[in-house]
């Protein structure tokens, strides 16, 4: 089958492309915004990319057009497909029918931590010899790719609550039919498609309704919204974490040592190669989910020692003049706060936070009043304001003199490079390419 993917460089659709190639399909695709790491992954797998959405691409005559959820009515290629009556399907539906059918799907859902928890879970299954397939919204360093297809019955997927496509406004995860599902947490997000938190809870309720009776839910007891979801109905096995009667985690002898327990019984203490309490909980949820697939907690805890992390999750991009530059995907106030706190706990020296409010929710300004508190632990804050529809200077005013806003990227880079001194940590946070700011910062630091 030849499929042509619209929006192929998104993390999800790029993963679909990799899986389709592995399954023997011919894959081509197009996108308006092509940037690493997805673009380089696809090129390395021999996927032909076309820049833009020229209607002439219908001349490729694929067996199926697979439409990503970033594609809206009015897109010239989509309009040509509809006008000509050509076959099309959403990415999640294609994945469900062509890849996930008949497999033991382990889904990781929640507002935060999906990529890290999914990567941990995939590695635990891999290290236990189960050879899982996976599709994750990032690149686990242990695998080097965001998606993999194997002959194993096990498949780990990042279960995103964002909508499916222009023609299907249900959450993506409704299509996946998992047998094991992690519900990490639940907050309001995606203000461009959800009116409020209650609307997202309804989608999570629909997800819970798709699990079989012998399926298992691993849910965070510390998230009130998840408790409300479960109260609406649960027909599967249920295990709570962050609950005294369920799975718990605590700091061990030092910041890196982590103590895991189940129902009050200590399972073991290991050194976690990830920073922050949120990552302890991500690891805990992954251990609980892996147990449902037959991997013992002891085996999963042992696998943590060889976990290499995830690209764009507190990833060190380089060092110049003894200043370390990090890349992180954090784009929600809660994630920003957790990332800054995690770095603070494992490092000495100042934290210079560099933020691009790029997600649709952030661009709308829905979360702007929460930003000062989320950045409070940073020593300096630099905000890139280009394209924002709200006043970042006013929003960040509670941070006082330690914040500065820049509409010009080169000016921002210059300001950070001028301020930085030996021992500092420059933490870049964005869910996009951010104009290759990491390389620009490293170059400016080296030149200084």
Secondary structure of 137-192 as H, E, C letters:
CCCECCCCCCEECCCCCEEEEECCCCEEECCEEEEHHHHCCCCEEEECCCCCCCCC
Question: What is the structure's pLDDT at 127?
Answer: 98
> Residue 398 — very low, low, confident or very high, per pLDDT cuts 50/70/90?
very high
Tell me, yes or no, whether 28 lies in a domain: yes
Residues 65 and 117 in one domain: no
Q: Please state, in angstroms and rounded to a whole number, the distance separating the CA atoms of residues 446 and 448.
A: 5
Q: How many domains does the chain have?
A: 3
What is the value of pTM for the model shown? 0.85
Listed residues 38, 69, 91: the one ending a domain: 91
Q: Please state, in angstroms and rounded to a whole number, the distance separating the CA atoms of residues 357 and 121.
A: 29
Beta bridge partners of 383: 355, 405
Phi and psi dihedrals of 322, rounded to 5? 65, 25
Residues 379 and 399 in one domain: yes
Residues 263 and 153 in one domain: yes
Looking at residue 398, which CATH number applies to its domain?
Answer: 3.90.190.20
Residues 109 and 250 in one domain: yes
Listed residues 244, 272, 306: the one ending a domain: 306
**Cα angle 54-60-63, degrees, rounded to a multiple of 5:** 120
Q: Please state, in angstroms and rounded to a whole number, the distance separating the CA atoms of residues 291 and 142.
A: 20
Question: What is the structure's pLDDT at 36?
Answer: 66
Q: Please state, in angstroms and rounded to a whole number, the distance separating the CA atoms of residues 66 and 93.
A: 9
**pLDDT tens readout for residues 404-435:** 999 999 999 999 999 999 999 999 999 888 88
Angle, helices 409-419 vs 437-447, to 10°: value is 50
132 conformational bin, left if phi > 0, alpha if psi -120 to 50, beta if neither: beta
Q: What is the mean pLDDT of residues 266-288?
A: 90
Residues 174 and 133 in one domain: yes
Question: What is the structure's pLDDT at 201?
Answer: 97
Top pLDDT among 219 and 275 is at 219
Residues 258 and 134 in one domain: yes
Residues 292 and 366 in one domain: no
| pLDDT greater than 90 at residue 314 | no
Q: What is the mean pLDDT of residues 317-336?
A: 89
Percent of the chain exceeding pLDDT 90 equals 75
Q: Please, are residues 70 and 48 in contact by the beta-carbon 8 Å criterion?
A: no
Residue-number span of the structural domain to which 319 is assigned: 315-447
CA distances from 197 to 139, 206, 431 (A): 29, 14, 22
Residues 76 and 135 in one domain: no
**pLDDT tens readout for residues 32-61:** 976 666 677 788 888 989 999 999 999 999
Residues 116 and 57 in one domain: no
Other Cβ atoms within 10 Å of 366 Cβ, number:
17
Listed residues 91, 122, 144: the one ending a domain: 91
Q: What is the mean pLDDT of residues 214-224?
A: 97
Looking at residue 216, which CATH number applies to its domain?
Answer: 3.40.1190.10
Tell me, yes or no, whether 97 lies in a domain: no
Q: What is the mean pLDDT of residues 67-74?
A: 95
CA distances from 259 to 29, 184, 265 (A): 46, 19, 11
Question: What is the structure's pLDDT at 431?
Answer: 83
């Amino acid at each position: 089958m030849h499929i042509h993917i619209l929006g192929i460089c998104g993390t999800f659709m790029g993963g679909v492309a990799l899986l389709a190639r592995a399954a023997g399909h011919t894959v081509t695709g197009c996108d308006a915004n092509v940037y690493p790491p997805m673009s380089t992954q696809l090129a390395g797998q021999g996927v032909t990319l076309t820049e833009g959405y020229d209607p002439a691409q219908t001349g490729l005559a694929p067996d199926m057009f697979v439409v990503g959820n970033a594609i809206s009515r009015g897109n010239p290629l989509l309009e040509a497909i509809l006008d000509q009556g050509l076959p099309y399907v959403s990415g999640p539906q294609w994945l469900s029918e062509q890849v996930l059918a008949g497999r033991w799907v382990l889904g990781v859902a929640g507002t935060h931590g999906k990529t890290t928890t999914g990567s941990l879970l995939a590695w635990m299954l891999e290290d236990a010899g189960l050879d899982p397939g996976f599709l994750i919204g990032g690149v686990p360093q242990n695998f080097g790719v965001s998606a993999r297809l194997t002959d194993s019955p096990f498949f780990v997927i990042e279960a995103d609550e964002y909508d499916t496509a222009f023609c299907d406004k249900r959450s993506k995860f409704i299509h996946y039919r998992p047998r094991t599902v992690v519900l990490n947490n639940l907050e309001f997000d995606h203000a461009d498609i959800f009116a409020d938190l209650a609307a997202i809870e309804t989608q999570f309720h629909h997800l819970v309704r798709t699990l079989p009776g012998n399926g298992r839910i691993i849910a965070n007891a510390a998230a009130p919204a998840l408790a409300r979801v479960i109260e609406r109905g649960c027909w599967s096995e249920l295990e709570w974490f962050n609950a005294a009667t369920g799975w718990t985690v605590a700091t061990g002898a030092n910041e890196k040592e982590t103590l895991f327990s189940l129902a009050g019984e200590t399972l073991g203490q290991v050194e976690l190669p990830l920073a922050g309490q949120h990552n302890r909980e991500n690891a805990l949820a992954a251990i609980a989910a892996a147990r449902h697939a037959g991997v013992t907690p002891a085996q999963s805890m042992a696998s943590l020692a060889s976990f290499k992390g995830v690209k764009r999750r507190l990833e060190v991009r380089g060092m110049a003049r003894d200043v370390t530059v990090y890349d992180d995907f954090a784009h929600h106030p809660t994630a920003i706060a957790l990332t800054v706190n995690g770095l603070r706990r494992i490092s000495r020296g100042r934290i210079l936070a560099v933020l691009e409010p790029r997600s649709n929710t952030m661009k709308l300004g829905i979360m702007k009043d929460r930003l000062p508190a989320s950045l409070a632990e940073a020593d300096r804050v630099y905000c890139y304001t280009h394209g924002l529809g709200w006043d970042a200077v006013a929003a960040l005013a509670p941070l006082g003199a330690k914040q500065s806003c820049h509409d010009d990227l080169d000016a921002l880079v210059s300001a950070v490079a001028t301020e930085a001194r030996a021992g500092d940590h420059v933490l870049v946070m964005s869910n996009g390419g951010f104009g290759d700011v990491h390389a620009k910062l490293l170059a400016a630091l080296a030149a200084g």
